[in-house]
A and B are shown apart, each in its own frame.
Chain A
Amino acid sequence: GAVVSQHPSRVICKSGTSVKIECRSLDFQATTMFWYRQFPKQSLMLMATSNEGSKATYEQGVEKDKFLINHASLTLSTLTVTSAHPEDSSFYICSASGGGLFNEQFFGPGTRLTVL
Protein backbone atom coordinates (compact mmCIF):
# COMPACT_ATOMS: atom_id res chain seq x y z
CA GLY A 1 0.00 0.00 0.00
CA ALA A 2 0.90 3.65 -0.22
CA VAL A 3 3.22 4.82 2.53
CA VAL A 4 3.67 8.34 3.80
CA SER A 5 6.38 9.25 6.27
CA GLN A 6 6.89 12.29 8.45
CA HIS A 7 10.01 13.58 10.09
CA PRO A 8 10.55 14.26 12.87
CA SER A 9 7.97 12.29 14.81
CA ARG A 10 8.41 14.48 17.84
CA VAL A 11 10.05 17.87 18.33
CA ILE A 12 10.45 20.20 21.27
CA CYS A 13 11.59 23.74 20.63
CA LYS A 14 11.87 27.06 22.37
CA SER A 15 9.41 29.85 21.78
CA GLY A 16 10.43 32.07 18.88
CA THR A 17 12.28 29.42 16.92
CA SER A 18 11.21 27.89 13.63
CA VAL A 19 10.52 24.22 13.09
CA LYS A 20 10.42 22.33 9.80
CA ILE A 21 8.39 19.16 9.35
CA GLU A 22 8.88 16.92 6.34
CA CYS A 23 6.26 14.78 4.67
CA ARG A 24 7.31 12.19 2.10
CA SER A 25 5.39 9.80 -0.09
CA LEU A 26 7.64 6.77 -0.22
CA ASP A 27 6.21 4.62 -2.99
CA PHE A 28 4.05 6.90 -5.08
CA GLN A 29 4.05 10.36 -6.55
CA ALA A 30 1.86 12.77 -4.63
CA THR A 31 0.29 15.39 -6.81
CA THR A 32 -1.44 16.88 -3.78
CA MET A 33 -0.43 17.00 -0.15
CA PHE A 34 -2.47 18.14 2.79
CA TRP A 35 -1.49 19.44 6.21
CA TYR A 36 -3.73 18.96 9.22
CA ARG A 37 -3.45 20.04 12.83
CA GLN A 38 -4.98 18.23 15.76
CA PHE A 39 -5.22 19.63 19.29
CA PRO A 40 -5.68 17.27 22.24
CA LYS A 41 -9.06 15.52 22.29
CA GLN A 42 -10.11 17.29 19.11
CA SER A 43 -10.55 16.20 15.54
CA LEU A 44 -8.23 16.88 12.63
CA MET A 45 -8.47 20.33 11.11
CA LEU A 46 -7.25 20.94 7.58
CA MET A 47 -4.69 23.71 7.47
CA ALA A 48 -3.68 23.82 3.83
CA THR A 49 -3.59 21.99 0.54
CA SER A 50 -0.57 22.04 -1.71
CA ASN A 51 0.00 20.91 -5.25
CA GLU A 52 3.47 20.20 -6.54
CA GLY A 53 5.10 23.28 -7.95
CA SER A 54 2.41 25.75 -6.95
CA LYS A 55 1.52 27.82 -3.92
CA ALA A 56 -0.43 26.21 -1.14
CA THR A 57 -4.07 27.01 -0.52
CA TYR A 58 -4.70 27.82 3.13
CA GLU A 59 -7.90 27.31 5.05
CA GLN A 60 -9.59 30.28 6.61
CA GLY A 61 -7.91 31.36 9.80
CA VAL A 62 -4.56 29.75 9.02
CA GLU A 63 -1.74 32.29 8.67
CA LYS A 64 0.23 31.57 5.54
CA ASP A 65 3.20 33.62 6.73
CA LYS A 66 3.40 31.62 9.91
CA PHE A 67 2.91 28.17 8.42
CA LEU A 68 5.11 28.02 5.34
CA ILE A 69 4.42 25.13 3.03
CA ASN A 70 6.71 24.02 0.25
CA HIS A 71 5.80 21.24 -2.16
CA ALA A 72 8.88 21.24 -4.34
CA SER A 73 8.68 17.69 -5.64
CA LEU A 74 6.14 14.95 -6.16
CA THR A 75 7.38 13.09 -3.10
CA LEU A 76 8.15 15.83 -0.58
CA SER A 77 6.28 18.61 1.15
CA THR A 78 7.51 20.62 4.10
CA LEU A 79 5.68 22.63 6.72
CA THR A 80 7.69 25.26 8.56
CA VAL A 81 6.20 26.73 11.70
CA THR A 82 7.89 30.12 11.97
CA SER A 83 8.43 31.90 15.26
CA ALA A 84 6.67 29.13 17.12
CA HIS A 85 4.76 29.90 20.30
CA PRO A 86 3.29 27.59 22.94
CA GLU A 87 -0.16 27.84 21.35
CA ASP A 88 1.31 26.23 18.22
CA SER A 89 1.95 23.06 20.20
CA SER A 90 -0.10 20.42 18.46
CA PHE A 91 -0.07 17.19 16.48
CA TYR A 92 0.66 17.95 12.84
CA ILE A 93 -0.37 15.35 10.27
CA CYS A 94 0.22 15.32 6.56
CA SER A 95 -1.50 13.29 3.90
CA ALA A 96 -0.70 12.68 0.27
CA SER A 97 -2.84 11.97 -2.73
CA GLY A 98 -1.60 10.53 -5.97
CA GLY A 99 -4.67 11.22 -8.01
CA GLY A 100 -6.55 8.36 -9.52
CA LEU A 101 -10.30 7.89 -9.68
CA PHE A 102 -10.90 8.38 -5.98
CA ASN A 103 -7.98 10.62 -5.11
CA GLU A 104 -7.36 8.65 -1.96
CA GLN A 105 -5.46 10.35 0.81
CA PHE A 106 -2.79 8.40 2.65
CA PHE A 107 -1.77 9.79 6.00
CA GLY A 108 1.58 10.12 7.65
CA PRO A 109 2.16 9.09 11.27
CA GLY A 110 2.10 12.66 12.53
CA THR A 111 4.55 15.00 14.24
CA ARG A 112 4.06 16.10 17.82
CA LEU A 113 5.31 19.66 18.28
CA THR A 114 5.83 21.05 21.74
CA VAL A 115 6.83 24.69 22.07
CA LEU A 116 8.22 25.68 25.43
Chain B
Amino acid sequence: DAKTTQPPSMDCAEGRAANLPCNHSTISGNEYVYWYRQIHSQGPQYIIHGLKNNETNEMASLIITEDRKSSTLILPHATLRDTAVYYCIVRVGLAGANNLFFGTGTRLTVIP
Protein backbone atom coordinates (compact mmCIF):
# COMPACT_ATOMS: atom_id res chain seq x y z
CA ASP B 1 0.00 0.00 0.00
CA ALA B 2 1.16 3.55 -0.72
CA LYS B 3 2.84 5.57 1.98
CA THR B 4 1.18 8.71 3.27
CA THR B 5 2.61 11.80 4.93
CA GLN B 6 0.70 14.02 7.31
CA PRO B 7 1.66 16.95 9.51
CA PRO B 8 2.24 15.71 13.06
CA SER B 9 -0.10 18.19 14.70
CA MET B 10 -2.61 20.94 14.03
CA ASP B 11 -4.78 23.26 16.08
CA CYS B 12 -8.23 24.46 15.16
CA ALA B 13 -10.60 26.89 16.87
CA GLU B 14 -13.89 25.44 17.99
CA GLY B 15 -16.62 26.07 15.44
CA ARG B 16 -14.21 26.64 12.60
CA ALA B 17 -13.45 24.23 9.78
CA ALA B 18 -10.54 21.87 10.33
CA ASN B 19 -8.64 21.04 7.16
CA LEU B 20 -6.29 18.09 7.50
CA PRO B 21 -3.93 17.48 4.58
CA CYS B 22 -2.44 14.20 3.43
CA ASN B 23 0.12 13.50 0.74
CA HIS B 24 0.06 10.18 -1.07
CA SER B 25 2.14 10.83 -4.16
CA THR B 26 2.76 7.14 -4.91
CA ILE B 27 -0.88 6.10 -4.80
CA SER B 28 -1.86 3.51 -7.37
CA GLY B 29 -4.89 3.66 -9.60
CA ASN B 30 -6.77 1.03 -7.62
CA GLU B 31 -6.02 2.43 -4.16
CA TYR B 32 -8.58 4.28 -2.13
CA VAL B 33 -7.95 7.04 0.41
CA TYR B 34 -9.35 6.26 3.86
CA TRP B 35 -9.52 8.42 6.94
CA TYR B 36 -9.82 7.15 10.48
CA ARG B 37 -9.50 8.94 13.77
CA GLN B 38 -8.55 7.78 17.22
CA ILE B 39 -9.72 9.60 20.29
CA HIS B 40 -7.46 9.07 23.27
CA SER B 41 -7.54 5.51 24.65
CA GLN B 42 -10.21 4.37 22.22
CA GLY B 43 -10.23 2.24 19.09
CA PRO B 44 -10.00 3.95 15.69
CA GLN B 45 -13.20 5.24 14.15
CA TYR B 46 -13.86 5.20 10.43
CA ILE B 47 -14.60 8.63 8.98
CA ILE B 48 -14.74 8.52 5.21
CA HIS B 49 -13.09 7.11 2.13
CA GLY B 50 -12.88 7.91 -1.59
CA LEU B 51 -11.23 6.96 -4.83
CA LYS B 52 -11.11 10.08 -6.98
CA ASN B 53 -14.34 11.99 -6.52
CA ASN B 54 -14.92 14.26 -3.57
CA GLU B 55 -17.00 12.62 -0.88
CA THR B 56 -19.18 13.93 1.93
CA ASN B 57 -20.96 12.26 4.79
CA GLU B 58 -22.39 13.31 8.12
CA MET B 59 -18.96 13.50 9.70
CA ALA B 60 -16.70 15.10 7.12
CA SER B 61 -15.83 15.90 3.54
CA LEU B 62 -12.96 14.42 1.59
CA ILE B 63 -11.36 16.43 -1.19
CA ILE B 64 -9.01 14.50 -3.48
CA THR B 65 -6.86 16.37 -5.99
CA GLU B 66 -7.29 15.58 -9.64
CA ASP B 67 -3.92 13.81 -9.81
CA ARG B 68 -4.85 11.92 -6.62
CA LYS B 69 -1.49 12.67 -5.06
CA SER B 70 -2.97 14.45 -2.10
CA SER B 71 -6.22 14.87 -0.25
CA THR B 72 -7.78 16.97 2.48
CA LEU B 73 -10.17 15.91 5.18
CA ILE B 74 -12.52 18.69 6.18
CA LEU B 75 -14.42 18.80 9.46
CA PRO B 76 -16.79 21.69 8.70
CA HIS B 77 -17.49 22.84 12.26
CA ALA B 78 -14.95 21.41 14.65
CA THR B 79 -16.00 20.69 18.21
CA LEU B 80 -13.95 19.82 21.26
CA ARG B 81 -14.96 16.19 20.77
CA ASP B 82 -13.12 16.18 17.44
CA THR B 83 -9.80 16.38 19.26
CA ALA B 84 -8.08 13.17 18.17
CA VAL B 85 -5.33 11.67 16.03
CA TYR B 86 -6.43 11.51 12.40
CA TYR B 87 -4.97 8.84 10.15
CA CYS B 88 -4.88 9.00 6.37
CA ILE B 89 -4.49 5.54 4.84
CA VAL B 90 -4.38 4.41 1.26
CA ARG B 91 -5.18 0.83 0.40
CA VAL B 92 -6.68 -1.31 -2.26
CA GLY B 93 -10.37 -1.12 -1.61
CA LEU B 94 -11.62 -4.33 -3.01
CA ALA B 95 -12.22 -7.54 -1.11
CA GLY B 96 -9.17 -9.65 -0.38
CA ALA B 97 -6.75 -6.83 0.33
CA ASN B 98 -7.89 -5.25 3.54
CA ASN B 99 -4.82 -4.60 5.68
CA LEU B 100 -4.61 -1.12 7.10
CA PHE B 101 -1.25 0.52 7.71
CA PHE B 102 -1.49 3.26 10.33
CA GLY B 103 1.19 5.89 9.99
CA THR B 104 1.84 8.53 12.61
CA GLY B 105 -1.24 10.58 11.79
CA THR B 106 -2.07 14.19 12.64
CA ARG B 107 -2.93 15.12 16.20
CA LEU B 108 -5.76 17.65 15.91
CA THR B 109 -6.43 19.79 18.94
CA VAL B 110 -9.64 21.80 18.90
CA ILE B 111 -9.26 24.87 21.04
CA PRO B 112 -12.19 26.47 22.86
Contact = CB atoms under 8 A, between A and B. Distances in A.
Interface residues of B, number: 23
Tell which of A45, A105, A108, A109 has the most Cβ of chain B within 10 Å. Answer: A105
Interface in B20-49: 32, 38, 41-46, 49
Q: How large is the interface on A (under 10, 10 to 19, 20 to 34, 35 or more residues)?
A: 20 to 34
Interface in A97-116: 97, 99-110, 112
Interface residues of A: mostly helix, strand, loop or mixed? strand
A102 B48 CA distance: 12
A44 B95 contact: no
B44 A102 contact: no
Interface of B: 32, 38, 41-46, 49, 87, 93-105
Interface of A: 4, 6, 32, 34, 36, 43-46, 49, 91, 93, 95, 97, 99-110, 112
